[in-house]
């Protein structure tokens, strides 16, 4: 966070993304020159921002991971979604289009209607968006974009606070 506050004052720093140490198939973010990744243990999710771990996180899911979370891993997944409600922003980013779930194009025997209904119920119950992407590359970009937009919004807040506390602002009475 200190680096980002320094950035508000004019120093250019890269966006630092924390990749959870338990993440099985981490994104590399190599195509994003403004990103540095660090390994860390996150309370919830797979990706967050250094200094903002208790505010934002993204959970990455392959199609098979997601379907597994709707069946045998349901209790664990639901506990994670419950924990995510303490964050300001949380999203589940899926590496496949929603139609694959709706049409049952996965290995599990769970009924496609039941799988889709579970996703909608989780989204509604915990107020969590599920972002379905074309493929892994789009899921990586979506994760990057979600983190970048959140960071930009926080930086705008810091800039406004810095302006309000500046001597020039106080003298002008603005």
Determine the Cα–Cα distance for residues 172 and 9; give it in Å rounded to an integer: 20
Answer for the pair 101, 113: CB distance below 8 angstroms, yes or no. Answer: no
Distances (CA, A) of 84 to 7, 9, 46, 54, 121: 28, 31, 12, 9, 15
What pLDDT tens digit does each residue of the chain (174 aa) get? 545 454 444 546 689 999 999 999 999 999 999 999 999 999 999 999 999 999 999 999 999 999 999 999 999 999 999 999 999 999 999 999 999 999 999 999 999 999 999 999 999 999 999 999 999 999 999 999 999 999 999 988 888 887 666 566 555 555
């Amino acid at each position: 966070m200190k680096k980002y506050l320094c950035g508000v004052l004019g120093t250019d720093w890269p966006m630092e993304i924390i990749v959870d140490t338990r993440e099985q198939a981490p994104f590399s973010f190599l195509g994003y020159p403004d990103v540095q990744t660090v390994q860390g243990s996150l309370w919830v999710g797979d990706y967050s921002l250094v200094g903002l771990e208790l505010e934002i996180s993204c959970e990455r899911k392959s199609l098979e991971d997601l379907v597994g979370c709707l069946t045998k891993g349901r209790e664990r997944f639901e506990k994670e979604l419950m924990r995510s409600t303490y964050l300001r922003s949380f999203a589940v980013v899926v590496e496949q289009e929603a139609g694959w779930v709706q049409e049952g194009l996965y290995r599990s025997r769970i009924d496609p209607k039941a799988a889709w209904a579970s996703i909608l119920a989780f989204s509604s119950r915990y107020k969590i968006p599920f972002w379905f992407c074309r493929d892994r590359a789009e899921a990586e970009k979506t994760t990057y974009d979600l983190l970048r937009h959140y960071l930009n919004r926080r930086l705008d807040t810091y800039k406004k606070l810095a302006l309000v506390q500046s001597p020039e602002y106080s003298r002008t009475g603005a």
